[in-house]
Amino acid sequence: MSRDPYIDVKREIETTLSTLPDLLSAYSAPPGSSQHHEAQEELRNTLQILEGDLEDLEESVRVVAQMGDRWGISPTEVQARKRFLQRVKKDIDLFVKRQDDTLGVISGTLHTLASQAGLIGNEVAEQSEMLDDLGNRVDSTDSKLRKVSRTMQDFIRRNEETKSGWCIGILIVILMILLLLVIIT
């Protein structure tokens, strides 16, 4: 007498189902990482295998339900097999829902990161504009200071030997202080 294939298929399904939590936790790795990509591929393959095994098991249970007494399988065992099928389908649906939830969380995280990157980009652009404006103002003030400095040096050279030289020196210092105040503000 041949062995009931239900037992082997059931064992395969239970083994595959036991690997799903580990695959789901690996799937939670950062998107784009090799671990995430491998987990995604393995999840896809595992679900395809589960679907095929589940279809085979469902067909087996359907046939046994119709002709169970022919193989010596009691109605109680047929009901147990149907319950197992329902439990496996429920587990797979729950797993797919958890996977969808994980994808939703990952999607939300990516959206948040993209939003933050956009804000940072805008802030950098504003800072760049401010630095350009400051650079232009410094250049303008520098050229004004050089012009005033040359004028003052010419004036000082012309009036070096007079007592008014001291007065002019003091005025130069005051002028420099005023120019620095203009630059700072």
CA distance 75 to 129: 81
**pLDDT tens digit string along 18-61?**
887 777 777 666 666 677 678 778 878 888 888 888 888 888 88
CA distance 103 to 153: 73
Contact 46, 23 (CB under 8 A): yes
The CB-side HSE value for 35 (13 A sphere, CA atoms) comes to 9
* Architecture, CATH, for domain 5-129: Up-down Bundle (1.20)
Predicted local distance difference test score (pLDDT) of residue 122: 93
**pLDDT tens digit string along 78-131?**
888 889 889 988 988 888 787 778 778 778 888 888 899 999 999 999 999 999
Predicted local distance difference test score (pLDDT) of residue 118: 92
Predicted local distance difference test score (pLDDT) of residue 29: 62
**Which of 15-19, 73-77, 116-120 is predicted most confidently?**
116-120
CA distance 42 to 36: 10
**pLDDT tens digit string along 134-174?**
999 988 888 888 998 898 888 777 766 666 767 878 888 99
In the chain, what are the domain boundaries? 5-129, 132-184
DSSP states of 69-138 as a string? GGTT--HHHHHHHHHHHHHHHHHHHHHHHHHHHHHHHHHHHHHHHHHHHHHHHHHHHHHHHHHHHHHHHH
CA distance 124 to 107: 26
- Tokens representing 76 are 């109680």
Predicted local distance difference test score (pLDDT) of residue 126: 94
Q: Is the pLDDT of residue 1 over 60?
A: no
